[in-house]
């Protein structure tokens, strides 16, 4: 598991540290304090700046533009990512550099994102698409991704920027592969406040159908609706579903002969489905959840944490989540008491985030319980 992470020049943080991380890490703090940015940092570090993850994170924030790029005689709409928003105070220059340093089970990793100027046009790799008439659209800045592990393994990868601040991920092929022998690279799932899209949920569900994990998913949904007996995915017209729509699944209730769409049962069922499907598909990896309590009533918080806790232990998953809800963190205190989890276990942590500080304020198991019992506000 990731034990610590330090970031520099990323998003709203000039420098910030998360130390003494546990199996479950709940990030709290005011709006715009940087909680979501820290989830992103964990994702990018653990994936060694995987471009698919980067595109997902930037798309969720609307940090992209559709631009018409001329290829041969065709004008093609291209999604370009405004990469300057990844940098502290949105400043991008030849001197800009993002740095992330983490320790995972004793191994040290360092990720750097920086730039070089004045590259030669012959160095950049084109896709199978017809090449542009000229390279005038390509900037003089070249994005460098550098990964170092245990001060021994060092790999450098390059990617070109377009118009000095925009990155085209689908037009210029990146010769970038995750290091196969890396001890730190992990699979991960990032769940946004609006949950996971239907297509991804269907794919995750297909992987656990007719396995013991399918019953785990049903048991989790029973927390919110005890009459649920079965769940099935349906794919008709799926390509027409947009992010935020709640379709693609039917549930069978004991009191009804015919199944009903899961969207008829409210946001809580959909949220719980996303949480549990993500966990059973990310064994040995990380789960990142922004606003974990979204769509869930306060009375379900304890049961949610209980399922997450036991599943995370069983599948060796590390969880990072954010919340603004006091019931969310106080439910963790109840879980600590009932499961008899002590600070020696180093399993559950709450981190209070303030972007004006250089490190989080840490609450371990005993301090979480004391704060809840005494009504101390730690958000």
Q: What is the pLDDT of residues 295-337, one digit of tens each?
A: 888 888 999 999 999 999 999 999 999 999 999 999 999 999 9
**The pLDDT value given to residue 237:** 52
- What Å distances lie between residue 366 and 26, 51, 333, CA to CA? 15, 39, 9
- Sheet strands side by side (includes 166-168): 13-18, 2-10, 98-104, 107-117, 138-149, 153-162, 166-168, 74-82, 64-71
Comparing 329 with 153, which gets the higher pLDDT?
A: 329
Would you kindly state where each structural domain of the chain is located, as residue ranges? Answer: 49-185, 189-373
**The pLDDT value given to residue 128:** 41
Comparing 184 with 57, which gets the higher pLDDT?
A: 57
Q: Provide the 8-state DSSP code for 288.
A: E
* Percentage of the residues of the chain whose pLDDT score is greater than 70: 84
**The pLDDT value given to residue 236:** 56
Q: Does the pLDDT of residue 31 top 80, yes or no?
A: yes
Token couple for 16: 């910030």
Most confident of 39-53, 133-147, 238-252: 39-53
Q: Let me know: does 351 contact 25? Beta carbons within 8 Å.
A: yes
**The pLDDT value given to residue 334:** 95
Choice among 90-104, 242-256, 298-312, 342-356 with the minimum mean pLDDT? 242-256
**The pLDDT value given to residue 45:** 95
**The pLDDT value given to residue 321:** 97
User: Mean pLDDT for the chain?
Assistant: 84
Angle at 167 between CA 166 and CA 171, to 5 degrees: 130
Q: Does the pLDDT of residue 46 top 90, yes or no?
A: yes
Note the maximum CA span of the chain: 70
**The pLDDT value given to residue 163:** 63
**The pLDDT value given to residue 295:** 85
Q: Which tens digit of pLDDT belongs to each residue from 177-232?
A: 554 467 788 889 999 988 777 888 888 999 998 888 899 899 889 988 999 999 99
Q: Does the pLDDT of residue 33 top 70, yes or no?
A: yes
* Chain length of the chain: 379
* Percentage of the residues of the chain whose pLDDT score is greater than 90: 47
**What are the strands, taking DSSP E only, across 181-261?**
188-191, 228-233, 249-253, 260-261
Q: Does the pLDDT of residue 266 top 90, yes or no?
A: no
Domain 189-373: top CATH class: alpha beta
Residue 27, class by beta-carbon neighbours within 10 Å (0-12 exposed, 13-18 middle, 19+ buried)?
buried
φ, ψ of residue 276 to 5 degrees: the values are -75, -40
Mean pLDDT score, 97-122: 81
pTM for the full model?
0.88
Q: Does the pLDDT of residue 174 top 50, yes or no?
A: no
């Amino acid at each position: 598991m990731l034990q610590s992470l330090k970031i520099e020049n990323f998003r709203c943080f000039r420098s910030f540290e998360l130390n003494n991380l546990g199996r479950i890490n709940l990030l709290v703090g005011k709006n715009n304090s940087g909680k979501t940015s820290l989830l992103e940092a964990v994702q990018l570090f653990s994936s060694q700046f995987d471009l698919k993850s980067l595109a997902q994170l930037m798309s969720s924030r609307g940090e992209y533009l559709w631009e018409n790029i001329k290829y041969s005689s065709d004008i093609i709409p291209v999604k370009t990512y405004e990469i300057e928003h990844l940098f502290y105070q949105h400043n991008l220059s030849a001197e800009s550099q993002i740095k992330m340093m983490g320790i995972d089970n004793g191994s040290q990793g360092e990720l750097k994102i920086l730039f070089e100027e004045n590259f030669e046009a012959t160095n950049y790799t084109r896709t199978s698409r017809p090449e542009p008439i000229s390279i005038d659209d390509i900037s003089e800045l070249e994005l460098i991704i550098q990964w170092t592990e245990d001060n021994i393994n060092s790999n450098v990868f390059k990617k070109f920027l377009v118009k000095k601040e925009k990155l085209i991920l689908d037009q210029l092929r990146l010769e970038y592969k995750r290091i196969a022998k890396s001890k730190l690279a992990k699979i991960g799932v990032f769940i946004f406040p609006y949950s996971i899209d239907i297509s991804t949920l269907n794919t995750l569900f297909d992987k656990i159908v007719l396995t013991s994990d399918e019953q785990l998913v049903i048991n989790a949904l029973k927390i919110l609706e005890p009459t649920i007996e079965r769940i099935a995915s349906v794919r008709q017209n799926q390509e027409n579903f947009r992010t935020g729509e709640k379709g693609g699944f039917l549930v069978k209730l004991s009191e009804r002969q015919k199944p009903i769409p899961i969207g008829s049962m409210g946001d809580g069922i959909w949220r719980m489905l996303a949480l549990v499907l993500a966990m059973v598909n990310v064994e040995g990896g990380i789960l990142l959840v922004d606003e974990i309590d979204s769509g869930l009533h306060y009375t379900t918080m304890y049961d949610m944490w209980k399922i997450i806790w036991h599943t995370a232990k069983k599948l060796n998953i590390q969880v990072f989540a954010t919340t603004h809800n006091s019931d969310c963190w106080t439910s963790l205190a109840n879980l600590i008491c009932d499961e008899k989890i002590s600070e020696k276990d180093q399993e559950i942590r709450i981190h209070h985030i303030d972007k004006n500080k250089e490190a989080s304020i840490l609450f371990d198991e005993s301090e979480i319980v004391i704060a809840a019992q005494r009504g101390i506000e730690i958000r």
